[in-house]
Homo-oligomer: A and B are copies of this chain.
Amino acid sequence: MLSSLQPALVREMTVPKTANGNSSTNLNGAWKAPGRVQELEAMARELRRDILQTIFTAGSGHPGGSLSELEILISLYFYALRHDPAQPSWPDRDRLVLSKGHASPGLYAVLARAGYIARDELATFRKLDSRLQGHAHPMTPGVEMNSGSLGMGLSFALGCALAARLDAKDYLVYAILGDGECDEGEVWEAAMSASHHKASNLIAIVDRNRIQNDRFTDEVMSLEPLPLKWRSFGWRVLEVDGHDLPSLLSTIDKARTRRTRPTVIIAHTVKGKGVTFMENNPAFHGRSPNQEEFEQAMKELA
């Protein structure tokens, strides 16, 4: 059943876009096909297990932000993105830039499921000579940008978006940012220049899980009113529950249509989503569960 979401279908689901750059409007709502959302929800459950398995096997990594971003990544790779896992550098592909590159296990799990890499390779995460680096790096098929230093992804994504304009291509560029990451001034430099340069093919998604490395964002650095910040920097702002797939998918549809300026989706998420003792727990931003915690987590996700 889930195999129906393997590469072949991914390609079929992503027919070429119309020339006007309003991409895939023809595809909007395709996710409403009977059973699709249930498939994606089941996939999310499986991939949560893959994420924890990956981190536990490595003995280190970032579970919290990988679990909070998962539905966003699934919505992109198994619905919104025009991409071809068999040709990771297809020039016409939509780009997904993971700016919060420490949450690479979430991306790797999705890339494996989409067929960019073999699922077995997840076991090599953070090991010497693995293609799966601690922070996402382009040596992994499907990874666009070298990461690990926060605040850089939106600038890089804007570069990809401006390249599309220069080449008269209609691909879209998505960038996933952490909320704590928005403390970095470069994010606001990029936001300001993206609207100045009218990069309407750029869609940022902020994983608003309210926790950063040490503590809650309200304790470390208050971000609110976050939507107003983005709006004042010239962006169209959409907000959504970042774990509710139907809302997420339809919000991404909205983001892809009637684009006259860059759009940001503020996805309200739960850090550590899916594992009771990891949810809203800063302790699991950057550490692996121990044996006992791992077994408990896998039971919860069984």
Contacts and interface: CB of A to CB of B under 8 A. Distances in A.
Given A189-B183, A192-B221, A221-B196, A232 B234 contact: no
A221 B188 CA distance: 12
Interface string A207-239: 000000000000001110100110111100000
A195 interface: yes
Interface string A286-301: 0000000000000000
A183 B184 CA distance: 14
21 contacts: A151-B185, A183-B189, A183-B192, A184-B185, A184-B189, A185-B186, A185-B187, A185-B188, A188-B188, A192-B221, A192-B222, A192-B223, A195-B222, A196-B221, A222-B234, A225-B232, A228-B228, A228-B231, A228-B232, A229-B232, A229-B233
Given A184-B185, A185-B185, 14 more contacts: A183-B192, A185-B187, A185-B189, A188-B188, A192-B222, A192-B223, A193-B221, A195-B222, A196-B221, A228-B231, A229-B232, A229-B233, A231-B232, A232-B232
Across the A-B interface, give the 5 residue pairs with the lowest CB-CB distance, nearest first: A185-B185, A228-B232, A185-B189, A188-B188, A229-B232
A232 B189 CA distance: 15
A188 B226 CA distance: 13
A196 to B, nearest CB: 5
Contact residues on A (Cβ < 8 Å of other chain), bracket: 20 to 34
Nearest to A224: B234
Among A189, A193, A234, residue most surrounded by chain B Cβ atoms (within 10 Å): A189
Contacts of A192: 183, 221-223
Contacts of A183: 189, 192
Nearest to A230: B232
A129 to B, nearest CB: 36
A222 B195 CA distance: 8
A233 B186 CA distance: 15
Contacts of A195: 222
Interface in A193-213: 193, 195-196
A229 B188 CA distance: 10
A177 B188 CA distance: 17
A211 to B, nearest CB: 16
Interface string A131-156: 00000000000000000000100000
Interface string A145-182: 00000010000000000000000000000000000000
Among A187, A188, A192, A225, residue most surrounded by chain B Cβ atoms (within 10 Å): A188
B184 A196 contact: no
Nearest to A190: B185
